[in-house]
Structure 1
């Protein structure tokens, strides 16, 4: 991924040369020469990255180039540290009279000159292998993505209706024992999708009193399987032994009809399953569905031959339909470019009916401009790759490799980040996007904010079907994801080849924190750029003190995420050394215990862009030095129950784009940040606000939000509020007009806020109201003859007193396409037949073409 490495470095260098040129006075000529050479090479680096798989000499050349670029990036970072704004001897001839700077100045200049000479030599050597001019320009598609947001429904399924019906018939005709059903086939055939379709079917949900979905990785343990089953049953047991875990499962299931899905079982040693099966209650027509690539596995797990289902590849018509739904999603799945139809059908034929291959290729074509020559180039490239990979599974791997090759360079770096996560791991979007921002993978252009650009990168991978959606909000926003195991195989291979990550943790630049991570993985690893918590959902890491202390020796570390971790030694003692990581840009201490305060040494990390201390229930205060972090873009202090307010002066953080968990200071909290300071945060896109007392909003502060013109998302919570006068203050706290999404929680008034109306919020698309005492909507909420809401998705949850009529909602929200309602007993005439009932939620989804 040398093209990705070069792309990231050039972005950082361009920013340094333009915004902080003062720090590069001594080395500006060398850096500009390096920039010029790399810009000339950038046009053919993508081809070189692809061809190096077949040319060992070219591979060696590209490895050398990659290492030179990383070294140049480290030098650039050191230059930035050497020239702090508060150092009067930071640049120019002042270095000559400041002796401590002389060794750095000499060595840096000498090494930059050597790097430039080696890159010029590489440029000469690389041309003959490519057969192209090195003056090619970069692909403009890399610079401007065609789609920067999801444009199709990821839940759509094509051609599996018969498979689903067959398995449902088996399920509903189960006898009094435990029915075993097997779904067997090669990777990418849709086994998991079929199981999901059955598992989430409305009739199946009603039929079973308990349902459990367990993803069985290749490195599972029996305890992990049972804990996963218990989590499905609402029990987060962690410290019990196997016998106790199995007894708990039995107690939850006894007398109940239950469904268990064991997804993607590999091992033929199924002794673990026999022990679990013996402990499960029998009877009531309970069912176990097992998906596997190996027929022997499901047979050993007790599935009879007549209950093994072998999914078939999609038919030609279904293959073309699935491809159209994705590749032409912007036009409702219809191919409006007739010159592309024949090429598209040629591409689909090469996918041989494999759903995963069709989805990935369809996603790739969705992101390509609809031009004949571009589609023809992809088709020819596809044909050449498949010529060497004739069988279906090899063809699928070639398809995935093609999709990776065609990624824009900046997305290659983002995509390889999935390599550090364990198999079947559910990965949070926020963690990914913040990592990408922290390490500089996110390209900034067109005036877009950093966090918005990061979300664009996530959408870029989603639209290409390289990410599988796990969880979405009521309005369709993805917040948890995973990747298919075949996609993961590709990611691991590329990541190891390019020293991005390898599973033994040696000499790579990125590591995931798991319980087996020890000091040996960190010793002398000066290359390390990112160290992140990668534990699975509901699990915590136990980090040895010896390992934690080694982290501070990785001086070029940019990203440190130790969320959901327990430390053997004192957490404060470990954090006291964190100031040595002066290149750090992203720090997450989320859900670490017992974090009571941030260490003084953190003040030294002047380049910090993202700080996440969410879910730290014992955190009592943030230090005042936080307000000096001028580059801070994300500050997340949500769900910190002991935190009373944030430090005074927070309004100085003019680059802040995301602020979650903001609690305004009361009049008596003189050193706390008042809500009025938010007026200065003009780049704020996302705000999570918690208000509990009336004196948290002064009479002259009710306009604190109205002029935040970049604000898109506002969450306002009045949990544990006191005093009826708070309602009056909140009613005057008008959000900005251009607000895109509003979440109102625990509002204490009987009537909705005055500003919650289509005139005050004319651009609002998503509205969520949950908990609280609201019994009726203010008359202004209903608009008038000429004014209606533009709301597309509405969620009402746990509103015991709210009584509104569906016809009124329908009239004032004509654009409404998603309704999610739960535990609102006073709602009137909501259309049960149209919406359907699932899990206590009335929900209707109408996806526009």
Structure 2
């Protein structure tokens, strides 16, 4: 019956829309999948009947004229792709069915003996702020995090909590796999939600015969006007829950909201507007507590350790990165070994994480190929390192990896590689901001870092050296990371260098102080040389022999001069000499025609810099205005310059002439102006000529701000740092109609800030730091209507939070770092219950 219906739909599409190429390709795919399912043996047909129901629903949707264009047509294409994958995987799943059932039994057994630590606050937050909170306007939430961090455990704790059981009339828990059909999901929901319903007499036959739309209608009618909770565990990438439940949601919209909720666990977030509860790794105390409880459970005995053994145990557990899965794996290993007679003193000397790494491998396997390559190159960084997005993007580019987006694209909201890694729980953003695609800084869990090293050693020829020792010899090393200690390095061991593409140094000491010129000459193919934070004092002129070099990272060292031979590096795209105090730079910058990113600060130039020859330049930070011949440079040639940082902007500068020159930079979107140490910055009224500017940072003393009409009209991000304004900046800033993000740090010396009625119409993020005299923030009616996050740090006299945030429907997150007295006062005042994330320190 379903087969005939699908075939009829295909024929209807072909006759009704001739010449539509996209439809022709999709109907061809439908025919192919239909033929595959039709050819299956009868004993294998139960699951294919569910897949056939999915195909029928897709054909029905696209045959409906409202699905031919717009959002749902794109969704249809995605559903075709996912259904095709489920069909392809069907055979393999049949072979593994027995194995899966065995594993499920094991998992159920484990759940009964599950040890849970550190989820109390998460459980209370989800219950009080999301599930049982009528003021929460979002009915769908994602519990998100990497594999093994406890997403399912948290969801189960919430689902079975007595308050939740008593609150919802109907509950359903559906475990999702990548090959589970939409019909199976609907059947699972109906079987749990409609227990005892008269409609389900002979229900197995009834459900099997119904198509997806009928099932959705049946479920929707049954749940109409009732409060229900649906939990979807382990949602895979690309699974569109909104598509599956859209007819049920349509019925809900037609009736009064009863407080129903949908909660799912996933490694993935697919939409910037998703409401997400991000799982966090356990801290040291909770990790140790989980370790002890697991050992006690496994050995049926209670263990107490000496302070020295506890210290060793905690040190060992650091390698687990706070990941509950890894901590439990290690605890079970150690318990087994202890039961075999090995003493605890020996057991805490080492750790085996191979079992946990194996469980994490699917996270790598499921990445797209281009993202996999980026993940492998993250092995170059130190464990637990805070990684800057711009550095990651530059290293990936220097390695020949295609960027998902350009810097300019990311500034206008396109998704960069770091954001994709964030959505797939590979990295966590530092100072994470909801609903924002930008990831300025991020870090990776230590176990994922180990996995990146393991895979990089297997796939791209990574070699790790710890001083003079190789962790794993490589026959043909292409990338080398050297971790240096205090001991002297034996440079005679420096072999197999001719094929090296990347050379990364971590640590410090005198590693490079006595290298001979021939040392650098041996790296014939080297493209990446990173010495950031390495304590380098001098660089040899022989570094100019690295003619293939594209990335040179010398940030945060003790260099006093840059070798003149760097001018010979014709392929160099990134030169980072930032944070080297008073470093002398010869007249070579203009010779580097391939340069795309130049980072520096506090440099000394012999002559004023002319950069009109650097036609590929995208980023230039931070150059002293007195070292830059901007008035004679032909800036029209810099068509790609997106980000520019200028230092020593003082009252002696003719800013009108400066801004007139900068107006020639057609791609300029991000401008940083830093004042001098001893003088105020001049009046910036003429900055309005930079009308395409979207990001502006003003860092230095200012007597007054430009008027709102004199700010660039496209400003979306604004930072005022150390401006020490005497007048309240809010009456000016609130009129910037496109401003989305505002950060004030030591920006205002007064006691009160006033935001008037309807001020800041587009502001999403407000961050206030180090306003030492601030005592009150007054907010007018309908001001900041879409504010989502307010962060206040080190404002020691600000004792109250604006009451108006209670009426801000989009407000989700409040953070404050203040004194103990004020923190206690704010807690006692009772923050509005619509704020989901509240972080008050101390």
Q: Taking structure 2 as the reference length, what is the TM-score of the superposition? A: 0.50
Q: RCO (CA 8 Å, sep 6+): is it higher in 1 or 2? A: 1
TM-score scaled to structure 1, two decimals?
0.49
* Structure possessing the higher radius of gyration over alpha carbons: 2
